[in-house]
Amino acid sequence: MNVFLWGVLPYAAFALLIAGLIWRHRYDRFGWTTRSSQVYESKLLNIASPVFHYGILFVLAGHLIGLFVPASWTQAIGVSEHAYHLFSLYGGTLAGVLAVAGIGILIYRRRTNAPVFRATTANDKVMYVFLLGALLLGMIAKLSDTSGNGYDYRSTIAPWARSLFTLNPKTELMEGVPVLYHVHAVVGMVLIALVPYTRLVHMFSAPLQYLTRPYVVYRSRDPRQLGPRPDRRGWERAGS
Amino acid sequence: MRPMAQVAMVMNLDKCIGCHTCSVTCKQAWTNRRGMEYVWFNNVETRPGQGYPRRYEDQERWRGGWELNRRGALKLKAGGRFRKLAGIFSNPRLPEIKDYYEPWTYDYKNLTDAPLGTDYPVARPVSQLDGKPMKIGWSSNWDDSLGGAPAYGDLDPMVERTRQQASEKVRFAYEETFMFYLPRICEHCLNPSCVASCPSGAMYKRAEDGIVLVDQDRCRGWRMCVTGCPYKKVYFNHRTGKAEKCTFCYPRIEVGQPTVCSETCVGRLRYLGVVLYDADKVTEAAETPDERDLYEAQLGVFLDPEDAEVRRAAEEAGIPFDWIEAARRSPVHALVSKYRVALPLHPEYRTMPMVWYIPPLSPVVDALTETGHDGEDADNLFGAIDTLRIPLEYLAELFTAGDTGPVRASLEKLAAMRAHMRSVNLGEDPDPAVCAGVGMRPEEVEEMYRLLAIAKYEERYVIPTAAVGDAHRLEASALPDTCSLDTDGGPGMGGDGPFGQDSGRRRLPLVPVENFHILRRRQTADDEREV
């Protein structure tokens, strides 16, 4: 069981993520969208959506720092363990509260606004269960142990997460971890696997190229679809 | 000089009777799908009126188009690149569907299935957004023909501006009203702010013919284009989550046919043709400091296809020979640059729109005739243009950012044409002073008359095909080479995908109803037997 959860599931989730992205890019670029419901209702969305998205971005950044920056690195730049944990506790909680508050309003809006609810697919509902579940479980796990420095995930979960990259997962590190973290991690991995198969896929189309491209885009017709035949092989045209 | 070709349109507002045939045929061709119920790529507005969506011209609210920054350079009115990305999680300037109107259908089934009773069964309106019965409160042409103008007319943003300039010139008391119809499609601008607003780079201007399109496979539904377009002619398909817009009927244009709205126009008021322009000058012209100079600046961007040097440069730039020839015969070039009777819609948005309008003279003539004067007498007409009830100032707010000069010049040319042609038709000697007064020669006026009043099919639509070399295949059939059953989404590929009903790769079914030449003969033949 331990090996399955912490040695197999992470790779399965990652494989599903990558495979799903490739498959979707190859076969369903038309369905790759945010599926915005703003045209139905924009007052609540204008507040809740930025709150949720900025919150979840901070949450993501916090996970990246927490899991992939070893304690030795932060100590090397002179951040004490206590200071780090205070930052992690307050920063993480703030980001989590933003995200939970945002998604709370968004789900309320989705349920109560008739056109928005009508545009909600079964796929969306499954996604919301896992997204909200992962968020709430993470908050509970974090806040359930506020004694002193909180739960020291930097010596257990983080090294395990890093060991995944060396293809030598240290599953034994996860044995003593509180069960709340276990559940959070499993739900999180399922969520990662779900990303390309739900509307969450829009996170992979963050349009950063907009910052550098020219404002007005010109494109020519695809000659394979319609248009003049390419010149036949032969002599060059006179005058060219 | 970097010549590029653009397929452009001119509409002669004098001839628009507001029948909405263009809107209906366009709707049938392009937006009769779920998710697009509220969308009219072509709509006909009554002016004065709020337009569709309501008050779309109020750019202080919707932030469409471009403005100049402190250094005099163009910037998007809705905010630059960083601001767009930082605010990508919601778009506070996005019109809701209710700003257009809530689409509905009727519960027709009740007419046949209602239980027997004493009441006559009725088909109640049902909202297409939530499927519930609704009260109809607005539509795409609710204020058609000044319907409700005493209540809603003051909400027209252009009426507000006209009143600031010339107080009390626009009135809605019945005896003092004026109105005309304004058909609108996407402007296919030279400097499109929707394209510039698209974070994904899914919107583009086609290099060959200047048609602005949305790549449905690249659009990610960020909705910035809807805000970016000051004419509000990019729409959000609420079912697929993607932007859609007027395509200028490019599949028809490519094979030399006019757009559906032009083809079906009862008043024959639309003109289609190629204009050549200098792509290097577009930004410079759009940065003209004074809004009122933008009309002249845009004229300066167009190239004269009669100029041998322009033709040589165009050929070097890869513009096909038949396109250059089409530009010489182009009715759009004639009306815009040669006769200068057509004017752009809202040049102050700095997008360099490419659908131009000939302002309406008819309300002036009608009003004159009603007062017992000779409505086609040159002196009466010239005097009336300034004083009569279709205020020049209102037209100027629409077409020249408030400068009445070009509008008056255009109306005077139309008035001179009427007076001159009346003399010709009555067998009188035309007064040469009438034409000279508007700076035209009598032959030019007669040519313009032929183009505007006779308006033969071949002269209204001068459209070079996309691919002369490949004409045979295009003409014979636009059917795909393979069986339509084989494609994704074809019949037999039923059922919903895992991402909802509109997901997956779909190809538009391309089915020609009739052969290009048969259609052409039917449209242009003078005698039935020729068909």
ipTM of this complex: 0.89
Structure tokens, B420:
């001159």
The minimum CA-CA distance between B517 and chain A, rounded to whole Å, is 19
Stretch A22-51: mean pLDDT: 94
DSSP E strands, B66-221: 66-68, 74-76, 104-106, 125-127, 180-184, 203-206, 212-214
**What is the residue-averaged pLDDT of chain A?**
91
| The predicted structure's pLDDT at residue B512 | 47
| The predicted structure's pLDDT at residue B372 | 74
CATH number of residue A202's parent domain: 1.20.950.20
Q: Find chain B residues with C-beta within 8 A of A37's C-beta.
A: 238
| The predicted structure's pLDDT at residue A234 | 67
Stretch B372-399: mean pLDDT: 80
In a domain, A106, yes or no: yes
How do residues A46-97 score in pLDDT, each as one tens digit?
999 999 999 999 999 999 999 999 999 999 998 888 888 888 889 999 999 9
In angstroms, the Cα distances linking B124 to B13, B108, B129, B394 are: 37, 8, 15, 40
Quote the CA–CA distance of B386 and B392 in Å, as a whole number: 7
Stretch A130-159: mean pLDDT: 87
Per-residue confidence band for A236, with pLDDT thresholds at 50, 70 and 90: low
Q: Domains in chain A: how many in total? A: 1
Stretch A150-163: mean pLDDT: 90
Residue A204 has pLDDT above 50, yes or no: yes
| The predicted structure's pLDDT at residue B56 | 96
| The predicted structure's pLDDT at residue B507 | 47
In a domain, A159, yes or no: yes
Residue B44 has pLDDT above 70, yes or no: yes
Residue B132 has pLDDT above 80, yes or no: yes
**Which percentage of chain A shows pLDDT scores above 90?**
75
Instruction: Say which of A32, A38, A229 has its CB closest to residue B90.
Output: A38
Stretch B401-425: mean pLDDT: 93
The minimum CA-CA distance between B185 and chain A, rounded to whole Å, is 20
In a domain, A77, yes or no: yes
Residue A195 has pLDDT above 60, yes or no: yes
In a domain, A213, yes or no: no
**Is A20 in CB contact (< 8 Å) with chain B?**
no
Of B15, B10, B2, give the one whose Cα is nearest residue B360: B15
Structure tokens, A155:
């010596």
Instruction: Say which of A42, A208, A216 has its CB closest to residue B96.
Output: A42
User: Taking CB atoms and an 8 Å limit, are B96 and A31 in contact across chains?
Assistant: no
Instruction: Say which of B130, B201, B504 has its CB closest to residue A209.
Output: B201
User: Taking CB atoms and an 8 Å limit, are A115 and B208 in contact across chains?
Assistant: no
The minimum CA-CA distance between A72 and chain B, rounded to whole Å, is 34
Residue B515 has pLDDT above 90, yes or no: no
**Which percentage of chain B shows pLDDT scores above 70?**
87
Instruction: Say which of B208, B474, B505 has its CB closest to residue A28.
Output: B505
User: Taking CB atoms and an 8 Å limit, are A118 and B130 in contact across chains?
Assistant: yes
Residue B168 has pLDDT above 70, yes or no: no
Give percent helix, percent strand, percent coil of chain A, each to the nearest 5: 70, 0, 30
Q: Find chain A residues with C-beta within 8 A of B238's C-beta.
A: 37, 39-40, 119
CB atoms within 10 A of CB B444: 17
The minimum CA-CA distance between A219 and chain B, rounded to whole Å, is 5
| The predicted structure's pLDDT at residue B511 | 44
B3: three-class secondary structure by DSSP: strand
Per mean pLDDT, which range of B171-175, B217-221, B356-360 is the poorest? B171-175
Q: Looking at per-residue confidence, does B328 or B176 come out higher?
A: B328
| The predicted structure's pLDDT at residue B167 | 60
Residue B34 has pLDDT above 70, yes or no: yes
Q: Looking at per-residue confidence, does A203 or B515 come out higher?
A: A203
CB B457 within 8 A of CB B273: no
Stretch B217-227: mean pLDDT: 95
Instruction: Say which of B94, B203, B500 has its CB closest to residue A42.
Output: B94
A47 to chain B: nearest residue by CA?
B90
| The predicted structure's pLDDT at residue B46 | 94
Residue B451 has pLDDT above 50, yes or no: yes
**Which percentage of chain B shows pLDDT scores above 90?**
73
Show which of residues 115-174 on chain A sit within 8 Å of chain B, judged by CB atoms: 115, 118-119, 121, 123
**Is A112 in CB contact (< 8 Å) with chain B?**
no
Stretch B391-412: mean pLDDT: 92
Residue B285 has pLDDT above 90, yes or no: yes
Of B184, B140, B141, B146, give the one whose Cα is nearest residue B22: B184
In a domain, A195, yes or no: yes
B219 to chain A: nearest residue by CA?
A33
Per-residue confidence band for B510, with pLDDT thresholds at 50, 70 and 90: very low
Per mean pLDDT, which range of A118-122, B147-151, B337-341 is the poorest? B147-151
How do residues B455-503 score in pLDDT, each as one tens digit?
999 999 999 987 654 444 444 445 445 454 555 554 444 444 455 444 4
Q: What one-character DSSP code corresponds to residue B245?
A: E
Domain ranges, residue A195: 42-206
CB B324 within 8 A of CB B305: yes
The minimum CA-CA distance between B486 and chain A, rounded to whole Å, is 15
Q: What is the CA radius of gyration of chain B?
A: 24
In a domain, A108, yes or no: yes
Q: Looking at per-residue confidence, does A236 or A6 come out higher?
A: A6
Best interface-test mutation with A: which of B189, B212, B238 has the largest number of A CBs within 10 A?
B238
| The predicted structure's pLDDT at residue A232 | 61
The angle subtended at Cα B50 by Cα B384 and Cα B92, nearest 5°, is: 140
Stretch B146-153: mean pLDDT: 86
Quote the CA–CA distance of B22 and B183 in Å, as a whole number: 8
Per-residue confidence band for B159, with pLDDT thresholds at 50, 70 and 90: confident
Per-residue confidence band for B306, with pLDDT thresholds at 50, 70 and 90: very high
Stretch B142-166: mean pLDDT: 86
| The predicted structure's pLDDT at residue B496 | 47
Q: Looking at per-residue confidence, does B118 or A147 come out higher?
A: B118
Of B73, B51, B255, give the one whose Cα is nearest residue B156: B51
Residue A132 has pLDDT above 70, yes or no: yes
Q: Find chain B residues with C-beta within 8 A of A216's C-beta.
A: 191-192, 195-196, 205
Residue B220 has pLDDT above 70, yes or no: yes
